[in-house]
Chain A
Amino acid sequence: MSRLITIIFSIFATFTSVAVSSPKNIILLIGDGMGYAEIALTRAYEFNGDEGLFIDTMKNSGSVIVKQLMIDDPSKIEFAGESASGGTTISTGNRTSSGRVAVRAEDGAHYKTILEEAQERGFKTGLVTTSIITDATPASFAAHAQNRYCFIQSSGACNTHNDTPIIEQMLDHNVDVMLGGGYNLLRASDAEGSTIKKKAENLGYTIVTERQNFLDLKQGTKTLGVFSNGHMPVEWVGPGGRGADLVKVDDNRVVIFPEAAVCEINPSHEGMPRLEEMSKFALENLKNDGAGFFLMIEGASIDKQAHIAKPCGTIGEMLAFDRTIRIAVEFAKEHGDTAVIVTADHGQATQVIYKPETYDGSPIRRDLIPGLYQLLLTKGGHELGAYYGTNNINDQSHTGVNVPIYTYGMDNAEDLMGVIQQTEIYGAMKEFLFN
């Protein structure tokens, strides 16, 4: 019965909101490489597998099928995704091949993004990330490039396809708020032989590079905030910066387990604005009485730390991302007409495996743990095995697995429940924002 009422209510709500045309907002939060495994690792470490993650309280959920097209033959499917193709699928509703930013796999033709469409209709827009702001995920919303590494004029990746560098496209796009890493981008030359910094200033951007200046910044200004050289430092590290590694063995090739590790605050994160601070700023800045806004927030290093087999890094970033989701949902509760969509672009390699004991209690030998392993001690004093087995070269492979999706405040929430294709997210966002 309650569903019936909800349906009737949502029908009315839709009509009403169209009639008075109040602003509509979307806060899209992308946990890069945030699969169920990365969430489970974080839940285990911080909350001992119990309640505590905000994301676990979101009732409207589904799971998303992720794939991409093959570079050499886009008629063929590759069953594991990547941030550029995943970003493109979310921002445009189209599949593309690895490394492509909002362009078609076959011929590089540009796909219009949800951010571009929102701008055309008078919405304010924002991109917030913990990576360099030109990284694949934010770029997929406000740029078009054949190769995701075409950041600036001097990037080799621009030459092969004669693309305009991503940073220049993003500035020309007039995105109202862009926050993340990359103050090195400011020094780069632009197409006119000037610098990116000058270009941004000429376009009316206020540029900030320090946390304190940023926090003191007046709302309502068009903001370009870049707080680190390249990607922003992560919040947490393992003891001595160590992550997972090949296990050591004794003379009988029996594994010697080190003492369980406790995650530490990363000293180089000090002085950085946190993801939730950047997100709060963006929300206040973009809030308007006109059409509304589209804001994408990325927790970028959940993935980046998994690539290098650093579970503490992933956990710290996942917790920051989770706190940011709470802020987004609280904003939506307070302001209404705001949809919060939380998802990931692709799966990662992280696996939680047994505390080091074999199933039958026999000694663990080298062959039993061929990949990279780190034993952690959770906040509640339980042992937790984090494992990365897809390779031993410090660059774990993404995995092709469904990623979760959670929503709050969507009158068309049913569109994103059950099992969906990643291409369907774009349509559901459009439906919410524009119809």
Chain B
Amino acid sequence: MLKFIISIIGIFSINVFAQAAPKNVILLIGDGMGEAEIAATRNYEFDSGPGLFVDTIREKASAIVISKRNDDASLIAFVGDSASGGTALATGILTSVRRISTTAQYGEPIKTIVEEAKENGFKVGLVTTAVITDATPASFAAHVNNRYCMKAGDLSCLPGEKPIIDQMLELDVDVLLGGGHRLLSAIKDTITIEEFAISSDYEVAKDLKGFTRMGHSKNLLGVFSDYHLPRLWQAEDGKVAEKVILSDDGNVIFPKAQQCIVNPSSKDIPTLEMMTKKALNNLSTDNEKGFFLMVEGASIDKAAHDSDICGSMGAMLEFDRTVKLAIEYAKIHENTVVIVTADHGGSTQNIHHPYYENYKRTGKNIPGLYELLVTKGGNEMAIYYGTNNASDQVHTGINVPIYSFGLPDDLVFKGTIKQTEIKGTMAKFLFE
């Protein structure tokens, strides 16, 4: 019955304000946030009980993630990366890995939702815990053939190709917050990026102090570390998942169960929530049209690549708190839609506890990288990364979750959708 009353109130409130209020979309991308990465975090922090905010969002579906091959754009690759996934979300078009809003094989630019929003008079913001020119934010505001063409002089830039940071500033993205001191000293034409930004009416901040001073009268360019922002958590022994050690009889000696602790180098850096609040405040001021804000929890994926489960879970929790903040904002601001999804799946797996089946485990049982953790509630959990024994776990081709809040009923994502459908829904909501 309560649900019934809430639905009625919801319908009335939309009708009352439909004419007046600006329209806003907050798109939150958990980089590499598959069901497995969410499950590990839920297990560690809440012993798999209630606690994650994303678990309370009722409108949930799953999104098919694929990409194209660059050697032959008629062929499909069944795994994506942040560049192809970001492009799919920003443009609704499939491309190949490493490409930033350009077509597979041919490299033609594809218009993004951020560009459309700017054309329609909306404000736009990009917030991330990665370097601000990283693939996910870049896909919304730049077009390059290789995601690592971030600033002038980068080897990945083709001759004559404009680097990502130059394109982002020229597009006049209203809010850019994340990492990347090194971008500021890069040269654009004859001046530095920092000088160009200031001359283009950006307020530039490089540390927490500067961040705190940032207001809402100018565009914001905030970069708070040299490259990606430091991860919030690390394992207490400072290590990541490793090959298990074998005893003389060939059986596995399981490592001591670890807890996650705060990474000291993450102090004095604005959190994703702080940056998101700042962005919302800036974008909503004196704005009658509305805004498009993309917020990325980048280190869920970056840590998983390094088989750093604590790094991944700390980032997931920070992302989850930011989702909560966004939905609370949407609850008190009419016509604000929140969409939460991932760009691609990761490699993280929760496997059975070492007791399982009671057989002795030899090295062959655990060929990949392993970490035993003890959860907040005192349960042991085994985390495993098996895709790679070099230094870099690979993405996996699996559906990723998609949650929404505030979409009109006929636009709500249900069941199984394609990742390429999300952009059209956002555009329909914002521009029609």
Task: Name A's B-contacting residues (CB within 8 A).
Answer: 1-4, 7, 35-37, 39-40, 43-44, 48-50, 53, 55-63, 65, 67, 70-72, 76-80, 98, 347, 349, 351-355, 359, 365, 367-371, 378, 380-385, 387, 389-393, 397-402, 404, 406, 414, 417-419
Contacts and interface: CB of A to CB of B under 8 A. Distances in A.
A290 B8 CA distance: 38
Interface in B74-97: 75-79, 81, 97
A2 B352 contact: no
Given A40-B64, A352-B397, A392 B367 contact: yes
Contact of B387 (A2, A353, A417): A353
B42 interface: yes
A371 B416 CA distance: 30
Most chain B C-beta atoms within 10 Å of own C-beta, residue among A43, A368, A370, A381: A370
Contacts of B47: 77
Q: Which of B353, B355, B366 counts the most chain A CB atoms within 10 A? A: B353
22 contacts: A1-B11, A36-B399, A56-B64, A56-B415, A58-B416, A59-B414, A61-B60, A78-B352, A80-B382, A98-B356, A353-B395, A355-B78, A368-B388, A378-B76, A387-B387, A398-B351, A400-B351, A414-B58, A417-B58, A418-B55, A418-B57, A419-B55
B426 to A, nearest CB: 20
A380 B380 CA distance: 44
B420 to A, nearest CB: 11
Contact of A40 (B351, B352, B398): B398
A326 to B, nearest CB: 14
A98 B351 CA distance: 13
B48 A49 contact: no
Contacts of A387: 387, 396
B415 A57 contact: yes
B38 A402 contact: yes
A319 B55 CA distance: 30
Contacts, number: 227
Nearest to B366: A391
Q: Which 9 A-B pairs have the closest CB atoms?
A: A389-B386, A400-B350, A352-B397, A419-B55, A56-B416, A49-B66, A59-B415, A59-B414, A418-B58
B415 A79 contact: no
Contacts of A414: 3, 58
A414 B66 CA distance: 29
Contacts of B414: 59-61
B39 A65 contact: yes
B78 A390 contact: no
B60 A3 contact: no
B381 interface: yes
B36 interface: yes
Nearest to A99: B357
Given A40-B398, A353-B396, A418-B55, A402 B39 contact: yes
B101 interface: no
Contacts of A378: 76
Contacts of B64: 40, 43, 49, 56
With a 10 A CB-CB cut-off, give which of A55, A347, A384, A389 has the most chain B CB atoms.
A389
Interface string B338-365: 0000000001011111011100001011
A352 B399 contact: no
B364 A391 contact: yes
Contacts of B69: 355
B368 A390 contact: yes
Interface residues of B, number: 76
A4 B78 contact: no
A389 B66 contact: no
Contacts of A381: 75
Contact of B349 (A53, A72, A401): A401
A352 B398 contact: yes
Interface string B294-329: 000000000000000000000000000000000000
Nearest to B44: A79
B42 A371 contact: no
B390 interface: yes
B97 A359 contact: yes
B56 interface: yes
A399 B76 CA distance: 27
Nearest to A365: B390
B421 to A, nearest CB: 12
Interface string B370-406: 0000000111111010111110101111110100000
A37 B352 contact: no
A368 B362 CA distance: 21
B35 A40 contact: no
A234 to B, nearest CB: 22
Contacts of B76: 44, 48-49, 378, 380, 382
Contacts of A65: 39, 42, 48
A275 B38 CA distance: 33
A370 B352 CA distance: 19
B367 A37 contact: no
Contact of B365 (A4, A53, A370, A393): A393
A391 B386 CA distance: 8
B62 A3 contact: no
A58 B416 CA distance: 8
A389 B368 contact: yes
B389 A79 contact: no
A371 B368 contact: yes
A394 to B, nearest CB: 10
B388 A60 contact: no
Contacts of A417: 58, 60
B48 A7 contact: no
A2 B43 contact: no
A110 B1 CA distance: 35
Contacts of B42: 65
A57 B36 CA distance: 23
B286 interface: no
B60 A67 contact: no
B409 interface: yes
A150 B406 CA distance: 52
B120 to A, nearest CB: 27
A76 B377 CA distance: 9
A146 to B, nearest CB: 15
B184 to A, nearest CB: 27
B389 A370 contact: yes
A369 B395 CA distance: 13
